[in-house]
Structure 1
Amino acid sequence: MIVGTAGHIDHGKTSLIGALTGVDTDRLKEEKDRGISIDLGFAYMPVEGAETLGFVDVPGHEKFIHTMLAGAGGIDFVLLVVAADDGVMPQTREHLAIVDLLGIEHGIVAITKADLVAEERLQEVERQMRDALAGTALADISMIPVSALSGRGVAPLLDEIVGAARRFARRQATGRFRLAVDRSFTIQGVGTVVTGTVLSGQVSVEDHVTVSPSGLNARVRSIHAQNRPSETGRAGDRCALNLAGPGITKTAVGRGDMVCDQHLHAPTSRIDATLRVLGSEPKPIGHWFPVRLHYASAEVGARIVLLAEEPVAPGACTLVQLVLERPIAAAAGDRYVVRDTSARRTIGGGRFLDLRAPARKRRTPERMAQLEGHALTGPKQAIEALLAAPPFYLDLGAFARDRAIAATDLPALTQALGVVQLPLEATTLAMSQASWDKFRNDILARLKTFHADNPDLLGMGVERLRTQAELRLPVPAFRAALQALARPGEIGLDGACVRLADHRVTMTLADERLWHDIAPLLDGTERFRPPRVRDIAGLLAVPEAQVRRLMKLGSRMGKVHEVAHDHFFLREVVAEMVAVIAEISSAADKGWFTAMQLRDRLENGRKVAIQILDFFDRHSVTLRRGDMRRLNRNRLDLFGNLSNGVSDKAGVSGGDSSPVGRPDFKSGRGRETAFGGFDSHSLPPSSGSAGSSR
């Protein structure tokens, strides 16, 4: 259990800690000279039948409230100190307000300097404290008169604290590791050491961690937990970590940083939160109000963006967005405090709800419904509520990260809720069963209607279907959802087309025989410069119109793409050319390349190379600037094949059409898949098609 002091300056907090533990927490020369605490002080006391108690002594002067806040964020039990001769003072009330805003529910009041006043005065001070505590979670805590000088009341006070420690249910070490740094220093022969309170999870010697928000990676060389050498540090412990790694120095890591599990490093500068304004605030808080935000050991400038129309009155609670001057490492559900920019008063505080708050549409009914879900402290209840609110899906990886939930704990949560999971490359999206059934039925109905209206088209374009769907999923999630429908055979995926599984566009027997003769002419070593319709007709001695009609049908069936007028390329060859362009662009300066570079790789002549690039320009696969082009990676998979998976790092997604493995394939590095795009199969069919469907 971590015990923290709170109270006005010169009310005897440090002396009382000394009487309880035998440790003088004032360690700085200036503190000795001035007789006041300036920085955080620490003491430890072994307890028989319980774990070692840690004490955090905070300054009482109003100029050092920011330091007090850096120490108060990790305490479990507050030792409220009020001097019998002075009684309740301004910093007594402010410290008490801060303790209440931080949600600390356990504590005791020590009325110090009891040997200097009469019994009646002690009773009066106790009444003052009862009035000050009224309406807080500490309203009914015990009060004990003490004197650090004479020893009066010290033993009963210690007994109360030790009893609380034995009853204290220490924080669960579940979740991912986070330690809020309050000190950083160098020990000769040891290296950089940081200290702080472990907020969640646990850490072990030789673990690899990240210093956030800077992103420095480090290895834990040794650990002191509760002032003793240890192999591990757990939630609730005061820990000292000896860190080693590139760039790890006492100046690179300091108060306000978070040492955490590497998966948690995702700093944020825009947070939706609750806010309770103290009743002592002189006037309502308006939109874009400037404050100093205190969270854990961090302090940063911020602006309050109201999510309600009216200013928030003193004593009221509301929802706000906090826009920070610089990113911090935080976790959803954690508490914070805000003070005015001149550091003269505490304004209020609350709890972080969503670390990835939107900059736009932050007041819509849909967003308010999401925040209701984020406000639920239980992960299971929060997931259930978020899946029932627009947009009806949830990024499980981001949810677990922002709440510091361990990866091993997430499957049990999702299994208990019975959610439908859509695995992506870096995370998993979840939908409720009801939302999934609605999405599935909508997709199948739209495909059925499309086939009825366009019987001679192979299928509907992925992006067209996505944008028309009632439940609008992001591109990667939509493609994962389509694959989930394709696995049991409800739909088919052909290139960038989606169709019902039983829908086919077929050729007549005569057309199939002619296609059997045409296909080899478009493939092989000549695939990058295939013959045009007129040339094919001459080579096969068939009417040009017949060849053109069949090639148009093949285009609608997804067998070929018309790159230029009457110039058709096989679908897999187009996918191969995209892979070649991806390789050229990756090797080029800032990704920009010329038609000549593509011509040399495809060995097909300048005119054909330009026609190919014009085709990709029209579909936004390439972006043009003068005579230069650059690959648009958002359209990289446009001519690939969804059935081959969400992402294929070895090549452009292509299924059977993938060029990998062909003996004359020339590219193979620098490719990556990105989602999005439009495909030509979504265009209205040309009239007079000879195709048939069944």
Structure 2
Amino acid sequence: MIVGTAGHIDHGKTTLVRALTGVDTDRLPEEKARGITIDLGFAYLPLAHGRTLGFVDVPGHERFIHNMLAGVGGIDVALLVVAADDGPMPQTREHLAILDLLGVARGIVAITKADLADADRLAELEGEIRAMLAGTTLADADIMPVSAQSGLGVADLKARLELEAEATADRAVDGWFRLPIDRCFTVAGAGTVVTGTVFAGEARQDEPLALLSSGAAARVRGIHAQNTPAKTGRAGQRCALNVAGPQIAKDAIHRGDWLVSPELRRPTDRLDVHLRLLADEQRPMRHWTPVHLHLGAAHVMGRVVLLDAETLAPGAAALAQLVLDRPVGALHGDRLILRDQSARRTMAGGMVLDPWPPTRFRRRPERLALLSALRQTDPVAALAALAALPPYIIDLVAFGQARNLRPASRDAAVAAASLDALPMADGSGGSIALSPAQLAAITAAVTQTLGAHHEKQPNSPGLEPEKLRVALPMKIAAPSFGAIAAALLAARALEADGPWLRLPGHAVRLSPEDEKLWGWIRPVMEQSPFGPPRVRDFADRYDVAEAKVRDLLRRLSKMGLVWQVAHDHFFLRGPVVEMARIAADLATKAADGRFKAAEFRDRIGGGRKVAIHILEFFDRGGVTTLRDQVRVVNKDRYERFVKGAGPS
């Protein structure tokens, strides 16, 4: 269990921690000289049942509130300290506001220097503190008088903390590892060490991790968890990780960075959040207000874009987008604090809803509805809510990453929400989810759209996927439609004919007159596959109008039987694919992966002019690229062309 101190300067936080643990958390020479806490301090208290309490002692001076905020994230229990002689002071109230905004719901209030106050003063002070706590997450916190000098109440406070520790359940570790770095230093003989309170997941020795800011790979060489050597460091523990890597050095790592599993390395400079302005603010918050953002151990400047209101009144809440001066690490559910431009007071706090929001159309009603759905903390409820809102399709990779769900946990949530999951068709390993009702509606729309096309253009083999997508009555992103089309093909609700999609049973039919003409032309094209006659040659040979031949061949091109390689020059599909394979073979056998037009001409036979027309056709399709009079084959485009353009 992690205990975080809070309270005004000189109210005895560090002295109380020393009385509880025997450890002086003031480690800096300046702290010793001035007698005040400047930076974070840490102490540990082993308990009888094998657990260890970790204490994060924070500075109470207003000038060092940024250091306080770097250490208070991730604590389990707050230890709010109020001196009996002073009572609640400005930093007492600000620290309490911060704990409330961060959602810290477990805490104890320690009235320090209690041996200097009589019973009446303690009773009066307890009433004042109880009034201060009212309406906050710590409204029901126990209030305990203590004295670090005389020992009054210290044993009782320690026993109370032990009870809290026994009631603290281990945090789940099924997510990816996340540790906000609050310190970095070097240890002789060991190297670079980073420390922080683990937000999620579990790290093991020799496990590969990454710095979120730079992406630098880090290997875990050793772990101290709760001040004890350990094989693992897990969520809820204070950990020190000895890390190594080619780009890992003390000077390259700063407070506020994150050490994460590589799967979570996605920094962001925008955050969509649910924000609450403190009730004691003197004026409303306005659009584009400059603020200091504190999240995890990070501190960065930014501006507030209000999304569902023009101004935010004191005590009110709103949806907002934070536009930051530099990227940070954040996931859904992370708590944050905003301070004013001069960093003199805490203004607001909130929770991250979308760590990677859009930059455009951010205030549209559809977007605001999605953000409201994202306020659901339960993944199953959030999935169900999102599936009921436009665009009705959920990117499962982004959803799982934003909520730190491993694939198995994410897929279990999808199943519990009764949604259909479809793999992406691009081989990326991604997937989408949508409701069965929405999938049925899209299927019906696809069937209706293709049916209308077949009826209007019976000679057409179908529609290419992109043309079909834009013809649908609903808007579907291209990657999502690819996944849906692949699912419909697998279910045989659609058929593919080369690059075209059609309804099962649809067959292209030519008129008897066109069938007769095609019956004359096709054998001739088969006899000269790499150099068939042109349109005018067929027209002269069969004494048919040139326009009629051209019209037939263009319709045959739409049917997927021939390709129009050049103006009035058509080839059968099979030979075109074979010539693409010849070009790929020439490139493969060449030492530099390049080939000349003359080499291609020699392989297919015929004249240079025809060879150039064919190669230019491949250039236009991206199969080849011309560079300095030689060509290279683009592997991905070539493979897609061969797969999609082959004979049906």
Q: TM-score under structure 1 normalisation?
A: 0.85
Equivalent positions of 1:152-163 (< 5 A) are: 152-163=152-163
- Give the match for residue 517 of structure 1: 523
Q: 1:421 to 1:511 in 2, by over 3 A?
A: farther
Shift of 1:495: 2.7
- Give the match for residue 643 of structure 2: 655
Equivalent positions of 1:202-221 (< 5 A) are: 202-221=202-221
Shift of 1:67: 0.5
- Give the match for residue 70 of structure 2: 70
Shift of 1:608: 5.1
2:395·2:431 contact (CA, 8 Å) conserved in 1? yes
Cα distance in 2 between the residues matched to 1:617 and 1:272: 44
2:293·2:337 contact (CA, 8 Å) conserved in 1? yes
- Give the match for residue 119 of structure 1: 119
Question: C-alpha offsets along residues 205-251 of structure 1, whole Å, 9 cap, x if unaligned?
Answer: 11111110221111111111111111111110111111111101112
Which has the larger displacement, 280-289 or 93-102?
A: 280-289
Cα distance in 2 between the residues matched to 1:313 and 1:143: 32
- Give the match for residue 472 of structure 1: 475
- Give the match for residue 673 of structure 1: none
Equivalent positions of 1:139-288 (< 5 A) are: 139-288=139-288
2:596·2:630 contact (CA, 8 Å) conserved in 1? no
Please list every run of 5 or more consecutive structure 1 residues that lacks an aligned counterpart in the other structure. Answer: 587-592, 637-647, 660-694
Q: 1:501 to 1:522 in 2, by over 3 A?
A: farther
2:56·2:71 contact (CA, 8 Å) conserved in 1? yes
Question: C-alpha offsets along residues 383-438 of structure 1, whole Å, 9 cap, x if unaligned?
Answer: 11111111110110111011111222122112222322221222101111111000
- Give the match for residue 348 of structure 2: 348
Aligned length: 633
Cα distance in 2 between the residues matched to 1:158 and 1:535: 100
- Give the match for residue 105 of structure 1: 105
- Give the match for residue 533 of structure 1: 535
- Give the match for residue 368 of structure 1: 368
Q: 1:632 to 1:342 in 2, by over 3 A?
A: farther
- Give the match for residue 433 of structure 1: 436
2:498·2:644 contact (CA, 8 Å) conserved in 1? no
Q: 1:658 to 1:210 in 2, by over 3 A?
A: farther
2:71 aligned counterpart, secondary structure: helix
2:563·2:570 contact (CA, 8 Å) conserved in 1? yes
Shift of 1:649: 8.9
2:464 to 461, 465, 468: 461
Which has the larger displacement, 318-327 or 466-475?
A: 466-475
2:597·2:630 contact (CA, 8 Å) conserved in 1? no
Shift of 1:177: 1.1
Cα distance in 1 between the residues matched to 2:585 and 2:346: 57
Cα distance in 2 between the residues matched to 1:516 and 1:170: 75
Equivalent positions of 1:18-29 (< 5 A) are: 18-29=18-29
- In structure 2, give the amino acid aligned to 1:421: A
1:466 aligned counterpart, secondary structure: helix
Q: 1:42 to 1:630 in 2, by over 3 A?
A: farther
Cα distance in 2 between the residues matched to 1:193 and 1:581: 55
Question: C-alpha offsets along residues 112-142 of structure 1, whole Å, 9 cap, x if unaligned?
Answer: 1112222222222222211111101111111
1:575·1:652 contact (CA, 8 Å) conserved in 2? no
1:522·1:569 contact (CA, 8 Å) conserved in 2? no
2:525·2:532 contact (CA, 8 Å) conserved in 1? no
- Give the match for residue 358 of structure 1: 358
- Give the match for residue 556 of structure 1: 558
2:429 is equivalent to residue 423 of structure 1: no
Q: 1:340 to 1:310 in 2, by over 3 A?
A: same
Shift of 1:37: 0.7
1:110·1:146 contact (CA, 8 Å) conserved in 2? yes
- In structure 1, give the amino acid aligned to 2:553: M
Cα distance in 2 between the residues matched to 1:204 and 1:430: 33
1:209·1:260 contact (CA, 8 Å) conserved in 2? yes
Q: 1:39 to 1:582 in 2, by over 3 A?
A: farther
Equivalent positions of 1:275-674 (< 5 A) are: 275-424=275-424, 425-426=427-428, 427-507=430-510, 510=516, 513-514=519-520, 516-521=522-527, 523=529, 526=530, 530-535=532-537, 545=546, 548=550, 550-571=552-573, 651-652=639-640, 654-655=642-643, 657=645
Question: C-alpha offsets along residues 5-28 of structure 1, whole Å, 9 cap, x if unaligned?
Answer: 000011110000000000011111
Which has the larger displacement, 62-71 or 202-211?
A: 202-211
Q: What value does the CA root-mean-square deviation take over the aligned residues?
A: 3.2
- In structure 2, give the amino acid aligned to 1:228: T
1:584·1:598 contact (CA, 8 Å) conserved in 2? no
1:518·1:536 contact (CA, 8 Å) conserved in 2? no
1:200 aligned counterpart, secondary structure: coil
Which has the larger displacement, 342-351 or 459-468?
A: 459-468
Q: 1:542 to 1:563 in 2, by over 3 A?
A: same
Q: 1:217 to 1:437 in 2, by over 3 A?
A: same
2:626·2:632 contact (CA, 8 Å) conserved in 1? no
Q: 1:423 to 1:240 in 2, by over 3 A?
A: same
Cα distance in 2 between the residues matched to 1:618 and 1:487: 31
Which has the larger displacement, 358-367 or 510-519?
A: 510-519
Which has the larger displacement, 348-357 or 162-171?
A: 162-171
Shift of 1:578: 7.7
Question: C-alpha offsets along residues 123-164 of structure 1, whole Å, 9 cap, x if unaligned?
Answer: 222222111111011111111111111111101111111111
Cα distance in 2 between the residues matched to 1:153 and 1:14: 16
Q: 1:452 to 1:20 in 2, by over 3 A?
A: same
Shift of 1:357: 1.1
Cα distance in 2 between the residues matched to 1:580 and 1:12: 82
Question: C-alpha offsets along residues 577-598 of structure 1, whole Å, 9 cap, x if unaligned?
Answer: 7899999999xxxxxx9xx966
Cα distance in 2 between the residues matched to 1:89 and 1:438: 61
Q: 1:495 to 1:316 in 2, by over 3 A?
A: same
2:192·2:243 contact (CA, 8 Å) conserved in 1? yes
- Give the match for residue 87 of structure 2: 87
Shift of 1:573: 5.7
1:54·1:226 contact (CA, 8 Å) conserved in 2? yes
Shift of 1:281: 1.4
Q: TM-score under structure 2 normalisation?
A: 0.90
- In structure 2, give the amino acid aligned to 1:517: P
Shift of 1:657: 4.0
2:144 aligned counterpart, secondary structure: strand
Q: 1:565 to 1:205 in 2, by over 3 A?
A: same
Cα distance in 1 between the residues matched to 2:448 and 2:267: 42
2:376·2:382 contact (CA, 8 Å) conserved in 1? yes
Cα distance in 1 between the residues matched to 2:177 and 2:279: 36
Question: Percent identity among equivalent residues?
Answer: 49
Shift of 1:253: 1.8
- In structure 2, give the amino acid aligned to 1:532: R
Cα distance in 1 between the residues matched to 2:98 and 2:582: 61
Cα distance in 1 between the residues matched to 2:174 and 2:618: 51
Shift of 1:309: 3.6
Which has the larger displacement, 146-155 or 45-54?
A: 45-54
2:251 aligned counterpart, secondary structure: coil
Q: 1:487 to 1:565 in 2, by over 3 A?
A: same
